[in-house]
Structure 1
Amino acid sequence: MTSAFDDIMEGLAQAARHAAGEEVPGLVVHVPAKLDVAAIREKTNLSQPAFARSIGVQTATLRQWEQGRRDPTGPARVLLALVDKRPGIVGEVLGAPAAKRRA
């Protein structure tokens, strides 16, 4: 029988392997079926152009997502889900300078 500490340490080791791009058997990454991109951007207090730059997409693409004409796919969905949970994550991880915030 393993201790809670051992279980936690194993989970951290798996997370580190996943973050390094390694395959982690049994790992399931949950991304909601529908993302409210406008609400996610609102949490960051960034304008559309600033938010689009921060996540590496064209402003027109972001507008399409916010208006429901298109849905983000693949890595964009995962990134948006992360930003939804932790709005400052892009700046924290990439050390990006403060973007222009909405007035």
Structure 2
Amino acid sequence: MSRRPLGERVVSAARQARDHAAGKIALTEHLPVIPEEIDVAAIRARAQLSQAKFAQRIGVSAATLKNWEQGHRKPSGPSLVLLAMLNKNPHIVEETLRTDK
């Protein structure tokens, strides 16, 4: 988060939008980079959970998790995104879905 006053940030954003609309600048789109390969066993180890507990935490069956870890299958789609997030923060599920807020 910028430490500049809110008014300065709003004016700057308005100028940037104006310049973009006029074709003076091209704004870059920041898309997430989803890895093609991910080490599921290492992510689970960092979370310090058994296969059963980790599978339950991410909403997949223990058999699916085991297949990913053994290389028989690969996670894809939303599972791959969730695993990439867990790779960055092993506690993101608990932090996000905590019910004691």
| Length-normalised TM-score, structure 1 | 0.68
CA offset digits 1:36-88 (Å, max 9, x no partner): 00001001000000000000000000000000000001000000000000001
Q: Is 2:24 the counterpart of 1:48?
A: no
Q: Bigger radius of gyration, 1 or 2?
A: 2
Runs of 4+ in 1 over 2 A off after TM superposition: 3-6
* Alignment size in residue pairs: 79
Partner SS for 1:70: coil
Specify which structure has the bigger relative contact order, considering alpha-carbon pairs within 8 angstroms and separated by 6 or more residues: 1
| Length-normalised TM-score, structure 2 | 0.69
Cα RMSD for the two superposed structures:
2.6
72-81 vs 88-97, which moves further: 88-97
Change (3 A) 1:96 1:49: farther
Change (3 A) 1:87 1:96: farther
Q: Percent identity?
A: 47
Which residues of 2 match residues 15-94 of structure 1 at below 5 A?
A: 26-94=29-97
